[in-house]
């Protein structure tokens, strides 16, 4: 029973991991940028939700469009004015630059919202569904469902819509994309904006599940990375599967071995997968760039 | 995408004019180096303890930046998580000294630990490239950090370890560490200078420019990469050991701190990859700037440093040395023969 409960909690957490990894994967796969500011962008979204909730009492879930919009503007302008100019040159530059960005965002969050740990308590926070002795917290269930919905929405957007197809085309070959009339610079802007928006919306989701402060962003970034590598860059079903897998493994390790080894285990997994199956679980990618 | 080595001669000139200019340049460089060394050797007698500490810190980071230059600059493998060897070195020294070993033994064990770690993980991790290698090394750092935080009996766990204090008074102790770190830095410069002209160095650059071709030419790429990473790791480990004795306290979040890694990575990038003096000059520059920012803008130093990094990448993507070279070497401007 304990085993089932822990696995279930891991599964629900995994949905969030999958969602945060999706936007990370999008930016990485299309532009070859490892966005080290990913976690801080999520936290910015979380703080947008937090301020709205404190001022107006609005439900955190309903603020998701707002934080997504704020982050979209931020992401689009960053790509347009900063990354398009410099960071596409080499991986050293992208890593360093996004880390500089991360430092600025952490400082911004610290200055605006202080280092206090925050969380949001809604009217349904303490309630849980009871299925044959297994307890499912409503907040986690809600976060899980919305996270998966967002992940699938992104998947279909990329697959079906005109912009989505342009994004995939640009990821595969920016030069040929230009030949058929796609404005690559604009697509990069939209992609980064979209990735940031989704990070912001995920940030809104975590406010009901996690206790957060401006300095915990790095762990989200690293987890996103692990999930993307496990699932295969650009492979959406793989990413979702990997997110759920990581959530379950992490919960089992901290439940049955030692919570202190939780992160170590996820990195062991990371290195194992990198060496044994460099293309991820499912081994096939849908929009990843071949350069790496 | 690896860095291209900055071309040493950018201005086309007549052969003998170039030779005499080159000769003059070598002389100037040698004179500058001697002057710098003398100034640094005498400095502890003329500056306050505070500045002595700041300069010692600059030595430390200069060595770390040079160490990352060996693997990332020469061989093109961005070992982003190289700070793991800093942590390993400081823990190795701390553990030895807590059990009554001498500082020299501590340094020896630190070097050995770094070497063994690279020999164990190097051949595996060095199969990865680019982003994957970079983040895998970060993962290695996180793993070792988790191990250090949880292996209580050996490492003291999250409480950290208190290293026995040096037997000297504060002023002498500051001088000892000053000279120790200065020596380490000079050593790191010599290693880089040697690598620049040695077979191993050429092999590294061949790998950086095109690994497949290098392998086709018969280079044992894995051996070369592991060797140069081991060199970088041992240097980083030595600095870690000195740090442990200097600060007399180690704890996992302090010595496995990714911010340290970022700092020396920025210094290395700013200095220019695969140059001998670039990372050193950049380390001094960054260390002094960040000290000034820290002491004047305590609440915003993180943001200001971040902004600085972004601006550097935007406007000096090929580093400090190349930035100066592109604008007609400062030396050349200052010492241009008349007419």
Among B94, B88, B95, which residue's Cα sits nearest to residue B111?
Answer: B88
Q: Which residues of B touch A270 (CB under 8 A)?
A: 135-136, 139
Percent of chain A at pLDDT > 90 equals 25
Residues of chain B with pLDDT > 70, as a percent, come to 87
pLDDT in tens, B118-168: 999 888 888 887 778 887 888 888 888 888 888 877 887 777 888 888 888
> Residue A196's pLDDT is what?
95
Supply the DSSP symbol for A257. Answer: T
Q: Looking at per-residue confidence, does A114 or A92 come out higher? A: A114
What tokens does B230 get? Answer: 């081991």
Q: Do A91 and B140 touch (CB under 8 A)?
A: no
**Number of Cβ atoms within 10 Å of the Cβ of A155:** 17
Nearest residue, CB atoms, A82 vs list B125, B129, B310: B310
When pLDDT is cut at 50, 70 and 90, the band that residue B321 belongs to is low
Tell me how many residue pairs between chain A and chain B have CB atoms under 8 A apart: 131
- What number is the average pLDDT over the span B240-246? 92
ipTM tops 0.90: no
User: Tell me, what's the pLDDT at A68?
Assistant: 94
At A278 the pLDDT is 66
> Can you say how many angstroms the Cα of residue B273 is from the centroid of all Cα atoms in its chain?
11
Is B34 within 8 Å of B159 (Cβ atoms)? no
Sign of the CA dihedral running A233, A237, A240, A246: negative
> Is the minimum CB–CB distance between B306 and chain A shorter than 8 Å?
yes
d(CA B238, CA A35): 32
* B325 confidence band (pLDDT: 50, 70, 90): low
Residue B8: pLDDT above 80?
Answer: no
Q: Is B72 on the interface with A (CB under 8 A)?
A: yes
B310:A268 CB<8 A: no
A91 chain-B contacts, CB cut-off 8 A: 1, 78, 130-131, 134
Instruction: Evaluate if residue A190 carries a pLDDT over 50.
Output: yes
Residue of A nearest to B3 (CA): A90
A274–B307: do the CB atoms touch at under 8 Å? Answer: no
B5 has a pLDDT exceeding 60:
no
**Over residues A52-76, mean pLDDT:** 91
Residues of B in contact with A104 (CB under 8 A): 302-303, 306-307, 310
Q: B250, B94 in Cβ contact below 8 A? A: yes
Beta strands, E only, chain A: 128-131, 134-137
Beta-carbon contacts of A243 under 8 Å, excluding residues fewer than 6 positions away, are A14, A15, A16, A17, A18, A19, A20, A21, A227, A231
Q: Which residues 150-209 on chain B approach chain A with CB closer than 8 angstroms?
A: 150
* Token reading at B288: 């002094």
Please state, rounded to an integer, the average pLDDT across all residues of chain B.
82
Selecting from A99, A229, A267 the residue whose C-beta is nearest the C-beta of B143 gives A267
Q: Please, which pLDDT band fits residue A47 given cuts at 50, 70 and 90?
A: very high
The minimum CA-CA distance between B293 and chain A, rounded to whole Å, is 14
Give tens-digit pLDDT for B174-233.
888 999 999 999 999 999 999 988 999 899 888 888 888 888 888 888 899 999 999 999
Question: pLDDT band for position A9 (50/70/90)?
Answer: confident
């Amino acid at each position: 029973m304990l085993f089932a409960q822990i696995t279930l909690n891991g599964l629900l957490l995994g949905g969030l991991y999958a969602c945060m990894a999706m936007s990370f994967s999008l930016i990485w796969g299309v532009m070859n940028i490892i966005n080290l500011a990913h976690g801080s962008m999520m936290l910015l979204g979380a703080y947008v939700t937090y301020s709205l909730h404190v001022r107006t009492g609005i439900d955190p879930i309903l603020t998701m469009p707002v934080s997504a919009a704020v982050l979209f503007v931020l992401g689009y302008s960053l790509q347009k004015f900063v990354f398009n100019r410099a960071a596409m040159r080499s991986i050293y530059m992208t890593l360093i630059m996004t880390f500089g960005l991360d430092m600025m965002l952490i400082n911004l969050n610290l200055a605006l919202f202080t280092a206090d740990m925050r969380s949001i308590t809604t009217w349904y926070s303490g309630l849980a569904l009871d299925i044959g002795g297994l307890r499912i917290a409503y907040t986690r269930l809600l976060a899980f469902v919305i996270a998966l919905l967002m992940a699938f929405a992104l998947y279909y957007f990329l697959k079906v819509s005109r912009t989505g197809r342009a994004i995939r085309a640009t990821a595969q070959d920016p030069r040929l994309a230009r030949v058929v009339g796609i404005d690559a610079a604009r697509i990069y802007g939209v992609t980064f904006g979209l990735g940031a928006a989704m990070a912001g919306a995920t940030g809104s989701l975590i406010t009901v599940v996690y206790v957060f402060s401006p300095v915990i962003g790095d762990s989200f970034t690293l987890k996103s990375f692990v999930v993307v590598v496990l699932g295969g860059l650009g492979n959406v079903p793989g990413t979702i599967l990997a997110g759920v897998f990581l959530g379950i493994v992490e919960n089992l390790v901290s439940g049955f071995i030692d919570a202190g080894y939780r992160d170590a285990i996820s990195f062991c997994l990371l290195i194992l997968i990198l060496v044994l199956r460099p293309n991820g679980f499912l081994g096939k990618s849908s929009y990843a760039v071949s350069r790496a | 995408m690896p860095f291209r080595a900055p071309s040493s001669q950018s201005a086309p000139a007549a052969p003998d004019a170039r030779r005499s200019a080159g000769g003059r340049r070598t002389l100037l460089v040698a004179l500058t180096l001697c002057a710098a060394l003398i100034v640094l050797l005498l400095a502890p007698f003329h500056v306050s303890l505070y500045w002595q500490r700041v300069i010692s810190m600059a030595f430390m980071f200069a060595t770390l930046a040079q160490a990352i230059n060996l693997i990332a600059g020469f061989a093109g493998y961005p070992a982003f998580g190289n700070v793991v060897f800093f942590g390993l070195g400081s823990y190795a020294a701390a553990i030895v000294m807590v059990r009554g070993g001498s500082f020299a033994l501590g340094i020896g064990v630190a070097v050995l630990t770094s070497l063994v770690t690279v020999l164990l993980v190097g051949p595996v991790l060095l199969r990865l490239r680019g982003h994957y290698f970079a983040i895998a090394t970060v993962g290695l750092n996180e793993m070792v950090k988790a191990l250090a935080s949880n292996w209580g009996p050996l490492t003291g766990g999250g409480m950290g370890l208190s290293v026995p204090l040096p037997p000297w008074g504060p002023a002498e102790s500051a001088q000892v560490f000053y000279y120790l770190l200065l020596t380490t830095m000079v050593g790191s410069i010599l290693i880089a200078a040697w690598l620049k002209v040695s077979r191993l160095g050429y092999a590294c650059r061949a790998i950086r420019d095109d690994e497949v071709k290098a392998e086709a030419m018969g280079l044992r790429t894995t051996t070369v990469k592991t060797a140069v990473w081991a060199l970088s790791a041992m240097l980083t480990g030595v600095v870690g050991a000195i740090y442990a004795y200097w600060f007399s306290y180690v704890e996992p979040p302090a010595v496995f701190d990714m911010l340290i890694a970022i700092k020396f990575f920025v210094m290395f990038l700013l200095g220019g990859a695969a140059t001998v003096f670039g990372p050193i000059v950049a380390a001094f520059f960054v260390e002094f700037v960040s000290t000034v920012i820290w002491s004047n803008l305590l609440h915003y130093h993180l943001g200001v440093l971040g902004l600085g990094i972004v601006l550097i990448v935007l406007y000096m993507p090929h580093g400090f040395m190349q930035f100066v070279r592109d604008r007609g070497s400062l030396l050349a401007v200052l010492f241009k023969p008349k007419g």
